[in-house]
Chain A
Amino acid sequence: MKNILVCVKAVPSAAQVQVDGEYRLKRDGVSLQWNIADEAALEAALELKDRDGSVTVLTMGPPKLETPLKELLARGADRAALITDRLLAGADTRATAMALQAAAKKLGAFDLTLCGRRAIDGETGQVPGELAAALELPCVSNVERIEQLDSRLKLYRRLEDGILTLEVTGRAVVSICEYSYTLRLPGILSMRRAKTKQVELYSASDLQLEPGNCGLKGSLTKVTAMESRFPGLRKGPKEEDPKAGAEMLLAMIREVQP
């Protein structure tokens, strides 16, 4: 593969999820990390790229993402681009895909576009499909492994009941499962190379995005209410006698069995 684009998202660090007194999730001031499935997508891209190929990472978010993007350059990406503009705040999956496709076109022609299969904060998994539709490309989701066969790609897609093997000819968008690839650590060479590189910044107008297609305005879904539902305490009785415990367990199993 010559040119590969990897779309990444910064999400609140899962290890830092905390709740307040009313079991509400605290999101302010939590640190961000790259979504784990997106890191897997980057590693897949690094393994697939030719010696003279190039991997570009692309994200959308606040200017402070410039530093974490440099980290991805140190991990082996060749180019990093950040779409950042207050106009883009509050984007739903459609408005996000709209911005990403505009940037993808601006950044060049890519043989393959990879995304994580879903982000751990929103968990919609819709951006890859919407991005593919915007770029008029086929989209294969939930892929665990990619192999290159001459000009085609062999994809192993994890479905609910098994693994489907597919072959793709031509350009495509592929979404990658978390844990299918482990992102490599920064190497000395790539760290040195990363220091000489700049993160490319794009505003909405750089991408010729109309304000009506951006952020909250460009979104076709609207969150009308948000309510915390931290797992409620059940505090059932505790049994210390194994025999009585096993009997109770058996009774509860029988209750739900058809």
Chain B
Amino acid sequence: MTQEILVLCPFGLDEGLLSQAVSLSDSDVRVLVPEGQQGRAVRFGPGRIHILHRADIADEADFARWLAKKIRSWGSRIVLAPATIPMRNIMPMLAWALKAGLTADCTALTMSGDDLIQTRPAFGNSLMASIRAMSEIQMATVRPGTFRAEEAAQGTVAIIPERYTPGAQRVKAIDFSEFPQGKPLSQAQIIIAGGMGVGSREGFQKLEKLAARLGAGLGASRTAVDTGFAPYRCQVGMTGVTVCPKLYIAVGISGAVQHLAGMSGSDKVIAINSDPKAPIFGYADYGIVGDWEDIIDTLLNQEEL
């Protein structure tokens, strides 16, 4: 029997991560999910499902303290969570309390005996480091979308309710305004990204229109963001978001190293650029030399996409 693995998904189940944990630990997995998601969690074969009944979590430090107490009582030795913005804030606080080594934003996990070997990219995507925790409890956050979710045979599942009531109220949530674009860039299956070659804000609106029709995310190079063609949250690269979609369409992007670092994990890359010597072509699976607007207009004129 290998080590039990605990998967923390208090804000929503990460199916791929749970599935990977089950395959790493011979199904000896505990998972914490919000109310209503136990039905989904069961399909991936965990042994214990803890259902979290909670109010909103605004003071994440307070929630981390509650989690630390729970984890001590469960005796978990390996603790994983999806590398979402809230969990990347909570896990360090939890690691401090549990005196545990923590690795951020892993893209691969393997077991070596009782040790979890965590692999993560550093300096953009250009270096891959393998990391081990030297502590009794080993912790890692894992980049969402890294693992494919595969349903597993279901044995007996224990369902355990948990209740978190916020203690300290040092932080209060006042308001939430959702981005009009909806889906975060890091989770998009298709990304259409524009660079200086797109030339204007109107050009980006065209890309956005196509992205909306395809259910794709809109990305941008740093210079395009600096020029004001697109908002910062669209920035892909070393100082922006790192993405790994199934399809990355680079429009009018020359291909600076810093940009490549943020998108080189994509399954397929298509580059559209009027300059046949643009470096981006070297890193693309398919290149189109020509006016980007011709190509995008052709697509927009398709009745069905």
Contact = CB atoms under 8 A, between A and B. Distances in A.
Interface of A: 12, 14, 17, 19, 23, 25, 36, 92-94, 97, 120-130, 132-134, 137-142, 154, 158-170, 172, 175, 177-179, 219-240, 242-243, 245-246, 248-250, 252-253, 255-258
A236 B288 contact: no
Given A133-B97, A258-B189, 13 more contacts: A122-B122, A124-B103, A126-B102, A138-B60, A138-B168, A161-B178, A161-B184, A220-B100, A223-B129, A223-B130, A238-B289, A243-B298, A253-B190
Given A221-B133, A252-B270, A239 B260 contact: no
B233 to A, nearest CB: 7
A228 B126 contact: yes
Nearest to A169: B170
Which secondary structure dominates where chain A touches chain B? mixed
Contact of B92 (A93, A164, A230): A93
A60 B89 CA distance: 22
A240 B184 CA distance: 33
Nearest to A236: B285
Given A120-B239, A126-B102, A239-B286, A225 B130 contact: yes
A167 B257 CA distance: 39
B133 A138 contact: no
B125 A229 contact: yes
Interface in B253-271: 257-258, 260-261, 264, 267-270
Given A138-B60, A161-B182, A220-B101, A25 B239 contact: no
B247 A221 contact: no
A110 B5 CA distance: 39
Given A130-B93, A240-B290, A248-B286, A229 B272 contact: no
Contacts of A250: 299, 302
